Amino acid sequence: MRWIWIDKFVEFESGKRAVSIKNVSMAEEHLHDHFPGYPVMPAPLLIEAMAQTSGILVGEARDFKEKVILAKVNKAIFYMEARPGDQLRLEATVENLAAEAATISGRITRGDELLAEIGLMFSHIDQNMGGMEFPEENFVFDNDQFMDLLRGYKVDSAKE
């Protein structure tokens, strides 16, 4: 099983931008310890949610032919905490998309409040690592659950 950290896509413009939703729930066990009596979604997991949203955006832009890995967190500024019961909206916009890599800028909001600004860089590793071999099973796009997120979005948006 692979770890899915976003719930669904609500907007998806190929090669340009994507918006996903993450519902923060007290049913997530790590919130029981982070922190006892004061549950807060850990900031690195906000980055993870943005990385999943934008990783799929970047992968889809090249028909999932590239192995896309998160190479660098260019920016991560957190303004407010994410708490159980919050519905987070993760908006990723492609800044650069080239043969070897891509960068995105991301905003995480809750209603009209800005929680975080996150900039990420992804590497298309086959274009960068001089022919090094990487195991297939480590890659997100071979995973059905991730692809289901995108399929789910396409089904939903076709109904509207």
CB of 95 to another protein, least distance (A): 7
Residues 87-116 that bind another protein (CB under 8 A): 95-96, 98-101, 103
Residues 43-82 that bind another protein (CB under 8 A): 71-72, 74
Q: What are phi and psi of 108, to 5 degrees?
A: -115, 125
Residue with tokens 């899915």, as numbered in its chain: 4
**Which one of the listed residues 30, 32, 34, 124 is annotated catalytic?**
34
Q: How far is the CB of 103 from another protein (least distance, A)?
A: 6
Distance CA 118, CA 155 (A): 29
30 catalytically annotated: no
**What is the layout of strands, in order, in the sheet containing 17-23?**
8-13, 17-23, 87-97, 101-110, 113-124, 68-78
* Positions in the binding site for another protein (CB under 8 A): 71-72, 74, 95-96, 98-101, 103, 121, 123, 128
